[in-house]
């Protein structure tokens, strides 16, 4: 937490403790000292409340709770690290750092050992792939799925279709540095008829059934050549330098229906793959890269 929020929590906690003490002792001071048969005048479902003082054991519990809270607060505040650490110096942040250091001492040598091996070599090491899988499940599965099968807008990592390249170095670069895929919106340039014709032409290239005339497909091809070919190539095979996908296969990141393809062309798409080098570190990225690479090369992976 920032210093502001740490101070806010500290002040709020002390204020609450002070208010509770004030209410408790104020009530205790003004209440009658002896027992009586008088009631406070409240009745609910035939039950009335006597106007008697709180039992001492009840007050004792309140006092014990307050004392415990005060002692705990002094020993283990953990609210303002470096400025108010408590007598024992414990904080959740410090505990986390200690656990991370322990983890690093225990596993860092193993990570470094695997980092010295190539991704292809790690495919022959089931333990390394198992570690890479656990890292993947903890960090990558949220978008790509626990089976790495992807979802709408998130690529399938188990096939052989790689927008940015599927060799080990390219997969590792994607994970380390992240990727930004930007498809511009062509609706204002092409117009609705142009969007429809280009979508039909592209779907026809991938072998999908289209409801378009020969003239519409020819118009779509001409529009494609002047707008889309610079990234996807004249043959529509894609270009990994730009992250432009192959438009002639049957793999569609955002869907292959006429409406979905038209939407992509009309509105554009923006996909962001975060950079993991500062989050995982190079050694863990190396293991994840090996695991991801193995998913599309299972025939070469040791079972």
The arithmetic mean of pLDDT across residues 147-152, rounded, is 94
Banded model confidence at residue 300, pLDDT cuts 50, 70, 90: low
Listed by start position, the domains of the chain span 3-92, 103-178+275-300, 181-273
Q: Checking DSSP bridges between strand 39-44 and strand 179-183, what pairing results, if any? A: unpaired
- pLDDT given for residue 301 in this prediction: 47
Between 297 and 218, the higher pLDDT residue:
218
Which tokens go with 34?
A: 């002896």
Give the per-residue pLDDT at 107: 87
pLDDT (tens digit per residue) in 176-208: 999 998 999 999 999 999 999 999 999 999 999
Q: Is the pLDDT of residue 264 over 60?
A: yes
**CA–CA gap between residue 200 and residue 214 (Å, rounded):** 10
Which CATH entry fits the domain spanning 181-273: 2.60.40.420, 1.10.10.10, 3.40.50.1820, 1.10.760.10?
A: 1.10.760.10
| Residue 78 confidence class, pLDDT cut points 50, 70, 90 | low
What value does the mean pLDDT take over residues 125-144?
95
Q: How confident is the model at residue 1 (pLDDT cuts 50, 70, 90)?
A: low
Taking residues 216-230, report their average pLDDT. Answer: 96
More confident residue, 63 or 125: 125
Please report which confidence band the pLDDT of residue 303 belongs to, taking 50, 70 and 90 as the band edges: very low
Residue 92 pLDDT > 80, yes or no?
Answer: no
Average pLDDT of span 27-43:
79
Q: Please spell the DSSP secondary structure of the chain, one letter per residue.
A: --HHHHHHHHHHHHHHHHHHHHHHHHHHHHS-SS--S-EEEEEETTEEEE--PPPHHHHHHHHHHHHHHHHHHHH---SBTTTB--TT---HHHHHHHHHHHHHHHHHHHHHHHHTS-HHHHTT-HHHHHHHHHHHHHHTHHHH-TTS--BTTB--SSSS--TT--SHHHHHHHHHH-EEEEE---HHHHHHHHHHHHHHHHHHHTT------HHHHHHHHHHHHHHTHHHH-TTS--BTTTTBPPSSSS--TT--SHHHHHHHHHH-EEEEE---HHHH-HHHHHHHHHHHHHHT-GGGS--
Structure token pair of residue 30: 């003004």
Distance CA 136, CA 158 (A): 13
Residue 17 — very low, low, confident or very high, per pLDDT cuts 50/70/90?
A: confident
Q: Which is more confident, 37 or 173?
A: 173
The arithmetic mean of pLDDT across residues 246-255, rounded, is: 93
Tokens standing for residue 61: 């519990």
Largest CA distance in the chain: 102
The mean pLDDT value for 269-296 works out to: 94
What is the chain's mean pLDDT, rounded? 89
- CA separation (Å) from 300 to 9, 121, 297? 55, 11, 6
Q: 103-178+275-300, which class in CATH?
A: mainly alpha
What per-residue confidence (pLDDT) applies to 84?
Answer: 67
Rounded Cα distance between 292 and 232, Å, is 25
Mean predicted confidence (pLDDT) in 122-130? 93
**Separation between Cα atoms, residue 292 and residue 162, nearest integer Å:** 12
For residue 289, what are its two tokens? 């890269």
- Compute, in degrees rounded to 10, the torsion defined by CA atoms 279, 283, 285, 291: -140
**Amino acid 2: pLDDT:** 65
């Amino acid at each position: 937490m920032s210093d502001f929020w740490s101070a806010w929590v500290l002040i709020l906690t002390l204020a609450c403790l002070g208010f509770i003490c004030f209410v408790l002792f104020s009530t205790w001071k003004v209440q009658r000292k002896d027992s009586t048969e008088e009631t406070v005048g409240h009745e609910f479902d035939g039950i009335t409340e006597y106007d008697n003082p709180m039992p001492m054991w009840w007050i004792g519990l309140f006092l014990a709770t307050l004392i415990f809270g005060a002692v705990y607060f002094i020993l283990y505040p953990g609210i303002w690290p470096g400025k108010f650490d408590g007598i024992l110096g414990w904080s959740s942040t410090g505990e986390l750092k200690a656990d991370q250091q322990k983890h690093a001492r225990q596993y860092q040598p193993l990570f470094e050992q695997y980092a010295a091996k190539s991704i292809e070599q790690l495919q022959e090491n089931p333990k390394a792939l198992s570690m890479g899988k656990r890292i993947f499940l903890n960090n990558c599965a949220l978008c790509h799925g626990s089976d790495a099968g992807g979802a709408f807008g998130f690529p399938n990592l188990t096939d052989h279709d790689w927008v940015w390249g599927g060799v080990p170095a390219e997969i590792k670069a994607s994970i380390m540095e992240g990727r930004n895929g930007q498809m511009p919106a062509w609706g204002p340039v092409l117009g609705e008829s142009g969007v429809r014709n280009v979508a039909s032409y592209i779907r026809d290239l991938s072998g999908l059934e289209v409801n378009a005339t020969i003239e519409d497909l020819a118009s779509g091809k001409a529009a494609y050549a002047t707008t889309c070919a610079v990234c996807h190539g004249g043959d529509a095979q894609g270009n990994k330098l730009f992250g432009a996908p192959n438009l002639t296969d049957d793999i569609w990141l955002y869907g292959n229906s006429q409406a979905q393809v038209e939407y992509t062309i009309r509105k554009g798409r923006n996909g962001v793959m975060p950079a993991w080098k500062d989050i995982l570190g190079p050694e863990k990225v190396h293991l994840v890269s090996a695991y991801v690479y193995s998913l599309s090369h299972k025939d070469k992976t040791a079972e």
